[in-house]
Amino acid sequence: MEINNFVFVLLSLITLLCAMGVVLVKNPIHSGLYLVLTMFSIAGHYVLLSAQFVAVVNVIVYAGAVMVLLLFVMMLLNLNKENEPLKSFKVKMLGALVSGMLLVSMVAMYKVKMTTQSMAGIPISKDFGYVKPLGNLLFTKYVFPFELSSILFLAAIVGAVFLGNRNKIEQ
C-alpha cells in the first residue's frame, strides 16, 4: 500500500518537525501555534489508524479547548520574545544529553525485547473505531471510571474557579 506509507511518512515528518518547533522556538506564542499543528498531525495519524472518533475528539478537546486556553493565558500574561528567560549553554547541553539518553535506552529496550512473534497483529473488525462500540464499552466495562471522571471534572472546575477568584473571596 504505497499511498498509505507515503501518507504515514508525510504525517510523521510533519509531527516531528512541529514538535521540534514547540521545543526550540523562542517566542512562546509561536511555540503554542506549533503545538496546534502537532495536534492536527497526530489527529491525522489517528485517522490513519481508523480511530475516527478519537481523532475528532483530539481536535476538539486538545487543539480546540486546551490550546486556546493556553494561548489566552499567554496573551493575558503578555509573554513575548523579550520576556523569555535564557538558559546557560551548560544546562541546555545537559538536557539534550539526558533526553538523548532516554531515546537511546528506550530504543534499545524495544530492540532487545521485541520478537517477530510479539509484532504480529490481528485483523480488525468491521466496526473498529466507530462511536458505537466505544460507547458500548464505555457504559458497560468502564462505567465506574466514567462516573469518577465526572467527579474529577467537578473538582477541577471548582478548583479552577476558586483559584481564579481568590482575591474576591478573601475580600
Contacts (CB under 8 A) with another protein, residues 120-149: 121-125, 128-129, 133-134, 137-138, 141-142, 145, 149
Amino acid, single-letter form, for residue 122: I
**Does the protein bind another protein through residue 63 (CB under 8 A)?**
no
Stretch 74-103: interaction string toward another protein, x if CB under 8 A: x-xx-x---xxxxx---xx-xxx-xxxxxx
Q: Quote the DSSP letter at residue 26.
A: S
The answer to whether residues 58 and 36 touch, using CB atoms and an 8 Å cutoff, is no
d(CA 46, CA 11): 11
Q: Smallest gap, in angstroms, from Cβ of residue 99 to another protein? A: 4
Contacts (CB under 8 A) with another protein, residues 24-53: 28, 31-32, 35, 38-39, 42, 45-46, 48-51, 53
What nine digits make up the cell of 134?
466505544
List 82, 89, 90, 112, residue binding another protein (CB under 8 A): 112
Q: Smallest gap, in angstroms, from Cβ of residue 171 to another protein? A: 15
What nine digits make up the cell of 50?
481508523
**Does the protein bind another protein through residue 107 (CB under 8 A)?**
yes
Q: How far is CA 138 from CA 49, 97, 120, in A?
A: 20, 42, 27
